[in-house]
Amino acid sequence: MSTPSSVPVAPPLPEACAVFDTKPWRAPEIVAAEARITVPTMLAPQERQFYYWAARDWARGAGAQVDLGAFAGGSTARFAAGAQAAGHGATIHAYDRFTAKEQTKQNVLYAAGVAPFEGRDILPLAQSFLAPWAAQMRYHVGHIPDLGWPGGKIELLAVDAAKIATTTDLIAAQFFPALIPGRSLLIQQDFLHWSQPWLAAQMWRMRSAFAPVAHAPRDTVAFLCTAPVTPEIIEAGRISQASDAELLADIRAMRDALPAAWGLNARIRKTVAALRTNPGVRIAWQMQPPPAPAP
């Protein structure tokens, strides 16, 4: 069932509002520094810049930086380089199966200049790319919910592995309680991607502990953790068993809670259309694109 409407929406901390409203990740210095990181990634430019800025200027070394869905290390490298530049020595945890299909190798890795190679294993490639930050790195290889979180506080948590609704619930249960109220950022990398409508619903249901503070095009929305993520909040945020009607209501409520200045209504409408086009589907790669809107 949907979270009761009486649950309060967590306001972002005033100082956080001021920082994020200026979009400091778009500063020329950040743009130039991030551009020197050449590890291949599927992130868009502003997303890459946001990762680097969050690790360098937002994080204070209060906890680990965790990348759920590291692929070949592109997003992880932005965290690691930012942490290194900040000098606080945060540990970077990279989670992934570290495998790639041939088409992905062609489209992302070979297109970025990686020499063709046999097989699907990309862990050695990721480790090679991330070698400059080897002392900070910890690798977790396999299915993320099976691996879990070993313990300790998390200051930055990037999620690019919530491709299945059940996995989304498991990630929340295992990682969100380690977030630090008033300090930790939850970076939902696919928040605006039409193929994962459950993400907007999840964040609406957990609104008493998270406030949206930044949008980095294409798809990323970052949330500030504003309260301890208790078992009750985890339970309220479960979405894998929600009906389409419940998800639609939650997505629309989340849309109305996002800052109007971000101009995301069209993106949310596409998410709603995708859910209607794919009734009952809760796996991203099984979702069919919604029809294009009439001109």
pLDDT band, residue 247 (cuts 50/70/90): very high
Query: Does the structure show a pLDDT above 60 at 200?
Result: yes
pLDDT beyond 90 at 253:
yes
Q: What are the φ and ψ backbone dihedral angles of 124, each rounded to 5 degrees?
A: -60, -35
| pLDDT tens per residue across span 279-293 | 999 999 999 999 987
Q: How confident is the model at residue 13 (pLDDT cuts 50, 70, 90)?
A: low
Query: Of residues 125 and 16, which shows the higher confidence score?
Result: 125
HSE-CB for 70 with a 13 A CA cutoff: 34
What percent of the chain is predicted at pLDDT more than 90? 92
Facing residues of 138 across strands?
93
Class of domain 14-286: alpha beta
The Cα–Cα gap between 254 and 262 comes to 13
Domain ranges of the chain: 14-286
| pLDDT the model gives residue 269 | 96
pLDDT above 50 for 3: no
* 3-state SS, one letter per residue, for 221-240: EEEEECCCCCHHHHHHCCCC
Judged on CB neighbours under 10 Å (0-12, 13-18, 19+), 161 is buried
Region of 148 please: left (phi>0), alpha (psi -120 to 50) or beta: left
Enumerate residues 6+ apart whose C-beta is below 8 A from 77: 37, 39, 41, 129, 130, 133
3-state secondary structure (DSSP) of residue 155: strand
pLDDT computed for residue 10 by the predictor: 55
- Cα–Cα distance for residue pair 282/161, rounded to 1 Å: 13
Please give the residue that has the higher pLDDT: either 254 or 16: 254
Strands of 21-71 (E only): list them. Answer: 64-68
Q: Across the chain, what does the average pLDDT equal?
A: 94
pLDDT band with cut points at 50, 70 and 90 for residue 4: very low
